Amino acid sequence: MARGKSHTNLDEAFLALPDYWSPRVVAAANGQYVKVAKVKGEFVWHAHADEDEFFLVRKGALTIRYRDRPEVVLREGDFHVVPKGVEHMPVAADECWVVLVEPAATKHTGNTVSLITRTIEEQTAHLR
Amino acid sequence: MARGKSHTNLDEAFLALPDYWSPRVVAAANGQYVKVAKVKGEFVWHAHADEDEFFLVRKGALTIRYRDRPEVVLREGDFHVVPKGVEHMPVAADECWVVLVEPAATKHTGNTVSLITRTIEEQTAHLR
């Protein structure tokens, strides 16, 4: 596991991300993690049974598809909360930078197991 | 109390802020509030006994003064967590736009009472 440094600037943290769909924790407060993720393409359908998920687009555009409601398109500066228990799939046609705020306990792909899944140890390895 | 609309874009929410030092809640997730605040000048010394406070500067520069440690200067894109229980005073020489993430229970000026203090009802009035 490659180690990196801890950042205090969002864009520096984005630039240090090695891969798409590999969130990195940049701050912790009140049992929540603030994460940065660089995404491109389709993620996987998943839900977080007990955790809401806050998305803020820093650069590019992100679509959040839902099974049971209209999709939401987020552009730079737009934010959105995916409610707990609701199945969703993030999709980005082009590279998109996303800030996430979610409980430390949140699993990357919820209860869905995927090759793309990153453990919380992987998301925090650069801080150790 | 002036009502406004609920925003889904950070900059639109900042532009709708009526006053300095009057945070507005823009999103709620997992018992936390995401807030926007437009600040200028000196705030008041205060601490939040039980809550960490996450700061992210969207525009301008914010200095966070501490009694017992070096001050922290945050510029656009910089973030910082003020740990619970630690006395601090935010200061901005010029107008600065700040994103805050903190528990819904967090009081604006902690246990300090000030003319500047905004209740959580005032911070969420535009959502009703």
Q: What is the pLDDT of residues A15-46, one digit of tens each?
A: 999 999 999 999 999 999 999 999 999 999 99
Cβ separation B81–A52 shorter than 8 A: no
Interface of A with B (CB under 8 A): 8-12, 26-30, 32, 34, 51-54, 56, 77-81, 101-103
**pLDDT per position as a tens digit, A85-121:** 999 999 999 999 999 999 998 888 887 877 778 888 8
Two structure tokens written together for B76 = 């656009």
pTM of the predicted structure, to 2 decimals: 0.91
Asked whether the predicted pLDDT for residue B15 surpasses 50, the reply is yes
Please report the pLDDT score of residue B7 as a whole number. 77
CA distances from A10 to A30, A37, A59, B1, B77 (A): 19, 10, 11, 35, 5
User: Which residues on adjacent β-strands are paired with residue A27?
Assistant: A34
The verdict on a CB contact (< 8 Å) between A9 and B78 is: yes
CA distance linking residue B128 with residue B125, whole number of Å: 6
Which pLDDT belongs to residue A5? Answer: 59
**With contacts defined as CB-CB under 8 Å, which chain A residues touch B85?**
none
What's the average model confidence in pLDDT over A71-98?
Answer: 97
pLDDT recorded at residue B73: 97
**Residue B114, min C-alpha distance to chain A (Å):** 25
Four-CA torsion B48, B49, B55, B61, nearest 10 degrees: 50
**Cα–Cα dist B42/B20, whole Å:** 11
Query: What is the CATH architecture of A10-127?
Result: Sandwich (2.60)
Span A57-81, mean pLDDT?
A: 97
Q: What is the pLDDT of residues B64-107, one digit of tens each?
A: 999 999 999 999 999 999 999 999 999 999 999 999 999 998 88
HSE, side-chain direction, 13 A CA sphere, residue A112: 17
Q: Tell me if B30 and A9 make a contact (CB, 8 A cut-off).
A: no
The span from the CA of B100 to the CA of B26, in Å, is: 10
Residue-level pLDDT at A67: 96
CA distance B88 to A56: 27
Within 8 A of A53 by CB-CB distance, chain B residues are 29
Question: Is the model's pLDDT at A51 over the cut of 60?
Answer: yes
- How many beta-carbon pairs under 8 angstroms link A with B? 69
Banded pLDDT at A2 (limits 50, 70, 90): very low
Which two tokens mark A121?
């140890």
Percent residues over pLDDT 70 in chain B: 95
What ipTM was estimated for this complex? 0.89
Identify the band that residue B113 occupies on the pLDDT scale cut at 50, 70 and 90. confident
pLDDT at B5: 59
Q: Of B58, B118, B59, B65, nearest to B91 (Cα)?
A: B65
Per-residue confidence (pLDDT) for residue B2, from 0 to 100: 41
Q: In chain B, what percentage of residues exceed pLDDT 90?
A: 75
Mutation site, A10, A30, A127, interface B, largest B CB count within 10 A: A30
| Chain-chain contact of B8 with A54 (C-beta, under 8 angstroms) | no
